[in-house]
Chain A
């Protein structure tokens, strides 16, 4: 799953630690989500959307399905 977390964070001049504190997760978790190595649960995705004041769809995009 792709996401715009890094861009949204940069727009607000927040560090990963700032965002982690706002979301009540570790900085490592923010980094893993940002780099696409970990997909957040739906509740965490909602929290992320709330912190940035936008919808989940505006932050996360499904990876295109691999060609069959």
Chain B
């Protein structure tokens, strides 16, 4: 039996689009974050434009992610749902706790949004790997 799966090709395409949008978002985020100090000497208007571009590309990334998730088969959608549940839960519970640690001056450094993002990203990756391994 030789069946050419259009679904598999669409899946691969969605994954590539998501990777490209994510890469573009990271680049625009780096430009918007570092540009004022390194590229345009704090010029407010240029910073606003850079942030606007970052938000627009971010919206594209969100849509690409939604499309990618909707294109998955039901097993992979279930794995993603569980990984996102862990990520959201740990972000929601861990974020304020991290902030409380700083408020109580128990952290030797400032609690920043980047720490929360890093924690959520790691949680997502680990939960995804565990979920995929369970069904491998």
* A contact set with B: CB distance below 8 Å: 12-14, 18, 20-22, 24-26, 28-29, 31-32, 37-38, 40-41, 44
Q: Let me know if B105 is at the binding interface, CB within 8 A.
A: no
Do A18 and B135 contact each other (CB < 8 Å), given the known contacts A26-B76, A44-B74?
no
| Residues 122-136 of chain B, each 1 if its beta carbon lies under 8 Å from chain A, else 0 | 000000000010111
B residues near A37, Cβ cutoff 8 Å: 134-135
B residues near A28, Cβ cutoff 8 Å: 75-76, 132, 135-136
Contact B1 A26 (CB under 8 A): no
* B contact set with A: CB distance below 8 Å: 1-8, 11, 73-76, 78, 132, 134-136
Do A29 and B73 contact each other (CB < 8 Å), given the known contacts A37-B134, A38-B135?
yes
Residue of B3, B132, B134 touching A21 (CB-CB under 8 A): B3
Contact B73 A26 (CB under 8 A): yes
What's the Cα separation between A40 and B135 when bound, in Å?
13
Contact A24 B134 (CB under 8 A): no
Summarize B's interface: helix, strand, loop or mixed: helix
What's the Cα separation between A31 and B4 when bound, in Å?
19
Do A22 and B76 contact each other (CB < 8 Å), given the known contacts A28-B135, A37-B135, A38-B135?
no
Q: For residue A20, give the distance in angstroms from its CB to the closest CB of chain B.
A: 7
Contact A41 B73 (CB under 8 A): no
Q: For residue B101, give the distance in angstroms from its CB to the closest CB of chain A.
A: 40
What's the Cα separation between A40 and B78 when bound, in Å?
11
Q: For residue A61, give the distance in angstroms from its CB to the closest CB of chain B.
A: 20
B residues near A40, Cβ cutoff 8 Å: 74
Q: For residue A50, give the distance in angstroms from its CB to the closest CB of chain B.
A: 14
Q: For residue B90, give the distance in angstroms from its CB to the closest CB of chain A.
A: 25
Do A26 and B3 contact each other (CB < 8 Å), given the known contacts A37-B134, A37-B135?
no
Contact B1 A22 (CB under 8 A): yes
Contact B75 A38 (CB under 8 A): yes
Q: Add 20 more A-B contacts to A21-B4, A22-B3 (CB < 8 A).
A: A13-B1, A18-B3, A20-B5, A20-B8, A21-B5, A22-B1, A24-B8, A25-B73, A25-B74, A26-B11, A28-B76, A28-B132, A28-B136, A29-B76, A31-B135, A32-B135, A38-B75, A38-B78, A38-B135, A41-B74
